[in-house]
Amino acid sequence: MRFTGGHRPRSRFVPLIAALAVCVPLWLWFAVHFPDTAWDFTGFYIAGNIPLHQVHDQQVFQNFGNSELAPLGVRYYPPYVRPSVFAVPLHLIMSLPYWTAYWLWAAAQLLAFLSALWLLQTRLHLPVGTNPIWAIFFPAWFGIITGQDALGVLLIVVAGIVFIEKGRDGIGGALLALTLYKFNLSLLIPVALMFRGKWHALASYAVVGAGLAAASALVEAPSKYLELLRTIGSYTVGFRPETMLGLRGLAHFLHLPWLYFLLAPLTIAAAAWKLRRSQDLPESIGIALTASILCAWHGTWYDGALLALPAALLFHCARTTGRVVAAIVLALPFWNAFPQIATLAVVGLFAAQLALKAGSSQAHFST
């Protein structure tokens, strides 16, 4: 695919750069003064400072937090809920002092976000630079402030697509396998690869994914990880089913928990129907991510950062209604305070993706 609009790609970044110049200092000011800055970062920091085979032992987490972080005024120690093998890179920076490690982590997430936008513009030819609304995308920016990690996954997704689009299917599939870091939000990605006939990428995804699973199992017994996932609600603050992003949260908010088990299969079926008709890999991956977020058993507001890909596609390829929905998703404030409204916005995003005509993305990319 190739975008050949009338303006050079660099000039298209001017509106976004101007918006970032205004908004980034405001986000930074807020991060410095917000009392819960790095609220979720402790989970990653502790995981990078304890032995790998103990990263899912919450008692070890509490002991480390009480002895090392409590004197700094840090009181919340959420569990590390990623597969244990992914804790290996955390040891590279987490041995640093807590706040030094946090600011490096936040800078890495910011760099991941900006890099993903740059790749969307320059390699997938989506003119994101013309849209300054990215400077207020709440899950991205507030996720950085609270010490979350979804933007790193976003960059991996976009980079994986770029490699596959360039014909480097093996590398692209291997990169997409790294999204198993957040497996609850990525399990439909191999379905997208299958429907697009990207068999080499799918094979690479399967090999790397199996290797990651085996490595995690060697580090600690899988039963220990599964037990943590089963009891995660007892260790986290405010993450009850009714507060989560997605169909499960909406169903519990309506006091109809059974509704999730009806809507989730229908959403997956609708995604599969659209994936069979989509002729564009970025569009397919975007549909897979949106459906996964809606159907995830455990999904949170910061996971909405992954919606940057489908939102960018809708802005470029959809008509007015789709673009309005994408704008709502990107500009919606306080996702963590209004998860039900955020879920409805994601439902609208998914519906707009389903409404795209087959091949519409490729048609727009080539104009």
pLDDT along the chain (367 residues), means of 10: 46 92 97 94 96 94 96 94 94 92 97 98 94 97 97 98 98 98 94 97 98 95 91 84 94 96 98 95 97 95 97 93 96 93 97 84 48
Q: How far is Cα 61 from Cα 44, in angstroms, rounded to an integer?
A: 10
Kindly state whether residue 2 falls inside one of the protein's structural domains: no
The tokens 């209004």 sit on which residue? 338
- Strand (E) or helix (H) holding 101: helix 98-122
Kindly state whether residue 123 falls inside one of the protein's structural domains: yes
Provide the whole-model pTM.
0.94
Phi, psi of 312 (to 5 degrees): -65, -40
Give the pLDDT score at 359: 59
Q: Collect all residues with Cβ–Cβ distance below 8 Å to 258 and sequence separation of at least 6.
A: 251
Give the pLDDT score at 358: 67
Kindly state whether residue 37 falls inside one of the protein's structural domains: yes
Overall number of domains in the chain: 1
161-164: long-range pairs with CB below 8 Å, 24+? 161/124, 161/281, 161/282, 161/285, 162/119, 162/123, 162/124, 164/198, 164/201, 164/281
Kindly state whether residue 361 falls inside one of the protein's structural domains: yes
CA neighbours closer than 13 Å in the CB half-sphere of residue 32: 6
Q: How far is Cα 353 from Cα 337, in angstroms, rounded to an integer?
A: 26
CB 192 within 8 A of CB 281: yes
- Pick from 262, 277, 271: nearest CA to 310: 271
Kindly state whether residue 3 falls inside one of the protein's structural domains: no
Q: How far is Cα 88 from Cα 107, in angstroms, rounded to an integer?
A: 19
Kindly state whether residue 4 falls inside one of the protein's structural domains: no
Q: How far is Cα 5 from Cα 18, in angstroms, rounded to an integer?
A: 21
Give the pLDDT score at 204: 98
DSSP annotation string for 141-181: HHHHHHT--HHHHHHHHHHHHHHHHTT-HHHHHHHHHGGGG
Q: How far is Cα 141 from Cα 157, in angstroms, rounded to an integer?
A: 18
Give the pLDDT score at 234: 84
The token pair at 361 is: 């993305």
What SS3 class is residue 292? helix
pLDDT tens-place string over residues 92-120: 889 899 999 999 999 999 999 999 999 99
Domain that holds residue 244: 10-365
- Strand (E) or helix (H) holding 324: helix 320-331
